[in-house]
Amino acid sequence: MDETDGLPAPRRRWAMACALLGVVLAGLDSAIANIALPTIARDLGATDAATVWVVNSYQLAVTVCLLPAATLGESWGLKRVYGCGLALFTLASLACALSPTLPILVLSRLMQGVGGACMAALGGALVRAIYPQAQLGRGFAAIALAVALSAALGPTLAALILSFARWPWLFLVNVPIGLVAVPLFLSVAPRARRRFRAFDWWGALLNAAAFGLVVTGVDGLGGDARGLAGAELAAGLAFAGLLVWQQSRQPAPMLPLDLLRIRLFALSMGTSVCSYAAQILAYVSLPFLFQAVMHRSAVATGLLVTPWPLLVAVAAPVAGHLSARHPAALLGSIGLAALTCGLLLLATMPAVPADWDVAWRMGICGIGFGFYQTPNNLTLMTAGPPERSGAASGMVAVARTVGWSLGSAIVALIFGLRGSQGAGTCLYVAAGFAAVGAVVSVSRTGARPVIVA
């Protein structure tokens, strides 16, 4: 029979450990691939521009597969789809490590992204199935902690591996972890509710066109072909409009319009988009500020960025504990207000600050982001009925993707106008997004979830 309020404690720990392994594997893989690009280009005899597709193909696959993966999770079951995603990610990691040419590596990364999308889209739904209602905050805090630690440790781990091994080992290290995690997960994961329905192929194609063109358009804004990038963005937005129209005519839409009609869910999505836009604006612009303006080395830049994800890891469990007793509207607003202050403090730093002056400002940003993230994700996952957990989990990942794409587009626009000197402007814009997110968050006060028995 299905578990109606989480798993028993011993089984819960094993199931959550496997889910966290998937989060860490995907997070580390995203972070370490960037570090290895110059080495991969040299070893495979490829150009730098072509090698960038090692990263882009993964991100593109994740983006276009989020909503289809969430839909399949509700139809086929969370356990089956997440387990298949974890297995595909493991096999694709092996294929990446064994790739003799760049095209094969890019194709392997594309398949790895499909597996990563299954894990990203259904991670939140798994937490809701694994933990009892009273302990959901603890589960989402663990996810936030895993994401923050993988982001913080990724570049360091990549540098460590590359110091004594070739780049294929960056992917090969995933294989033994996956070989243990897949059978263990399939044996302990909960059997979630399923809603049998035909797969919406037209919706999947429109979804791929909309998100794919938007992501490639955003990437292109930072290059020379900005006209083409603008056309891709416009086409992506047009396909997005078609997607909404097509989905509004479906009895069980892939794009969960039913959840977006819930005021609490819609406002939480808005809060999430604003926060992730603020995050990526800062993450992309700060290295340019540290290196091009403040003349810090690449190693020093990595160390200066680290306090943000580390303090997210500290704040997330605290926020998860508090979310059981205090409304997410209040906690999210406090966190995003702190993020706003931290970003403004970074934007108004002295021309030549000491490392400590940078570190404590980054720490405030990390505390603010971590304090907001867990309560907001918990709200998104519980605003709708339990049988829509897969769709809600997919929308958590979509909000992150939309926020990052929006923030990346703004960074590309500002840098195109002002060069690396626009890093400070990016921080002011990031603070603006965080402030808007705080206002949207507090506007959720009084909004209630919709629970269907």
pLDDT per residue as tens digits for the range 134-160: 777 778 777 777 777 776 677 667 777
Check residue 2 and give its pLDDT. Answer: 45
Q: 362 or 34, which is more confident? A: 362
Residue 297 above 80 pLDDT?
no
pLDDT tens-digit readout, 50-94: 787 887 788 888 888 888 988 888 788 888 899 999 999 999 999
What distances in angstroms separate CA 423 from CA 105, 209, 299, 408, 415, one per listed residue? 33, 31, 19, 12, 8
Listed by start position, the domains of the chain span 1-190, 256-453
Decide which of 3.40.50.720, 1.20.1250.20, 3.10.20.30, 3.30.200.20 is the CATH code for 1-190: 1.20.1250.20
Q: 180 or 386, which is more confident? A: 180
Q: What is the crossing angle of helices 263-288 and 355-382, to 10°?
A: 160
Residue 288 above 70 pLDDT?
yes
pLDDT tens-digit readout, 12-56: 888 888 888 887 887 777 667 766 777 888 888 887 667 878 877
Separation between Cα atoms, residue 266 and residue 120, nearest integer Å:
20
Looking at the domain 256-453, which fold is it? Growth Hormone; Chain: A; (1.20.1250)
Average the pLDDT over 256-270 and give the result.
Answer: 87
Residue 430 above 50 pLDDT?
yes
Average the pLDDT over 321-344 and give the result.
Answer: 89
Query: Chain-wide mean pLDDT for the chain?
Result: 83
Is it true that 1-190 and 256-453 share their CATH fold?
yes
Residue 317 above 50 pLDDT?
yes
Asked if 35 and 162 count as a contact pair (C-beta separation under 8 A), the reply is: yes
Joined tokens for residue 35: 């570090």
What distances in angstroms separate CA 390 from CA 20, 79, 393, one per listed residue? 17, 11, 5
pLDDT tens-digit readout, 156-179: 677 778 778 888 988 888 898 889
What distances in angstroms separate CA 383 from CA 196, 213, 263, 378, 450, one per listed residue? 22, 30, 9, 8, 6
List, in order, residues 6 or more apart from 436 with CB less than 8 Å away.
Answer: 274
Alpha helices per DSSP H over 77-135: 78-97, 102-130
Average the pLDDT over 235-257 and give the result.
Answer: 86
pLDDT tens-digit readout, 405-420: 788 778 877 887 777 6
Has this prediction a pTM greater than 0.95? no
